[in-house]
Structure 1
Amino acid sequence: MILKNEVQLDGQGVQERLRNLLGAMVRWQTYSGELAVGIAHLLKVTRSYWSGLFHCYDVEGLPRTNNDLEHVFGKWRHHQRRCTGRKVIPALAVIRGSVQLVAAIATQLQAYSASDLASVSHSAWRLLRVQLQQHQHKRVQQRHFRCSPSKYLASLEQKLLQLTLLS
């Protein structure tokens, strides 16, 4: 019931209530009999996830469970397949997917105007474009290697020799 957050607490409030419950479980664990093993496991798992467990209560619209998050991704994949007419998601989603997914989720939460888009930092936008281009270049290199490994390695060797001859 605490993580369901029916009383609509913020992340700090949910964290405090769960901390109190877990503290009580630790105090009474010796009296729990056969449940002691399960309580120890719950405490261990909760401790490992603690740092990222409460963000969903502070960010409106952020899915609270893996199933909810997978549903968001699944809707995006379904949309991508419908847009392209393919049965599988396009390979471009690997390169541009991180940007497309964020844009798709953000536009579901609210509508953005041209002035909202114009207020984006140009340097941050350029940096993102460079990162996407670098990722795309890596994918192209991987494809070249898979298609013709000997040719790809020979071209790398040629470039290496040119670099050593220049120095």
Structure 2
Amino acid sequence: MKLLLSLFTGLFLFFQSADIEALRNSYAKANQSGANTQSFINLAEKQSSSDVITTGYKAAAKIMEAKITTDKGKRKSFIKSGATSLENIIKNNPNNAELRLIRLSVQENLPKIVGYRGSLKDDKTFLINNYSKQNTGLKNYIKRFASQSKTFTPADRALLK
């Protein structure tokens, strides 16, 4: 019985981590084109998991819908809905580095006029201070993001080893 439970748990975690990796990879490419953005949104919407990381990516997908929607009247509601959701998730999970990375990347890529930029410095500092505590996959993801980020300076990037 214990073996069966262990096997089931192992398979669940394997598939969950595969889903997270797919979301990460798609999210990293989402800003490159409208097609990539739509692909990420579709992938996020298909996720059935309700873990906080997946929910964070779904909130980011909602915000990104504003980028590709043709209905200009809905842009504000997409951003507000996604940002509210993301803020609530982070409020309940303040020590989750991946959620902080998602918020940092969203805020960095939104136009300044939107006004959703209040956590850039806090999230960057959190990621730098907690980088060493993360697993290898997340460390690599943070490093890749920081290498192209406007918020991270060369000195900040050097701290991510």
* TM-score (normalizing by structure 2): 0.24
The structure with more radius of gyration = 1
| TM-score normalized with structure 1 length | 0.24
